[in-house]
């Protein structure tokens, strides 16, 4: 395979992706994906550990481990309410990371279908 010289935009997109690989890997586990999808279905709601475990099913210790991974990765945040922790989905970082990555990818591939459609839509407005 021959090596192509990357444009500065391509290098920036690749660097951002590599720098956020650990973050994107948070979505690489079935239990964590189930937890995130559960929260996406109830965006304005918080859930206790027991409610999350009841939805996901399986071993409580495993679910708690994955809740902690999502919290460490800033996908969930926790508020102590009485004697229990209540978790909420934190989409701000996710949206910011994905928007930045999409913009860099679009800039690095100006002839991609998505870039062509975006230009056409912008021109038609």
CATH number of 8-124: 1.10.10.10
| pLDDT digits (tens), the chain, 125 positions | 567 787 887 888 888 888 888 888 888 999 999 999 999 899 889 999 999 999 999 999 999 999 999 999 989 999 999 999 999 998 887 788 888 888 887 777 777 676 676 677 777 76
Beta strand 84-89 with 47-48 is antiparallel
DSSP SS3 for 13? helix
Please choose, from the candidates 106, 98, 67, the residue with its C-alpha nearest in 3D space to the C-alpha of residue 84.
67
CB 55 within 8 A of CB 63: no
What pLDDT score was predicted for residue 114? 64
User: What does the pLDDT read at residue 104?
Assistant: 80
- Whether 14 contacts 6, CB under 8 Å: yes
C-alpha count within 13 angstroms, C-beta hemisphere, residue 58: 13
CA dihedral 79, 81, 85, 88 (to 10 degrees): -40
Alpha-carbon torsion (104, 109, 114, 120), positive or negative? positive
Per-domain residue ranges of the chain: 8-124
């Amino acid at each position: 395979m021959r090596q192509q010289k990357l444009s500065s935009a391509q290098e920036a997109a690749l660097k951002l992706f590599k720098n956020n690989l650990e973050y994107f890997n948070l979505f690489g586990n079935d239990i964590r994906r189930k937890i995130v999808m559960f929260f996406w279905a109830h965006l304005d709601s918080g859930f206790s550990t027991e409610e999350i475990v009841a939805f996901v099913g399986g071993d409580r210790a495993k679910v708690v481990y994955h809740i902690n991974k999502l919290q460490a990765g800033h996908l969930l945040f926790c508020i102590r309410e009485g004697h229990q922790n209540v978790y909420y989905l934190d989409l701000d970082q996710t949206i910011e990371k994905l928007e930045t990555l999409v913009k860099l990818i679009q800039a690095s591939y100006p002839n991609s279908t998505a870039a062509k459609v975006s230009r056409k839509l912008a021109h038609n407005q």
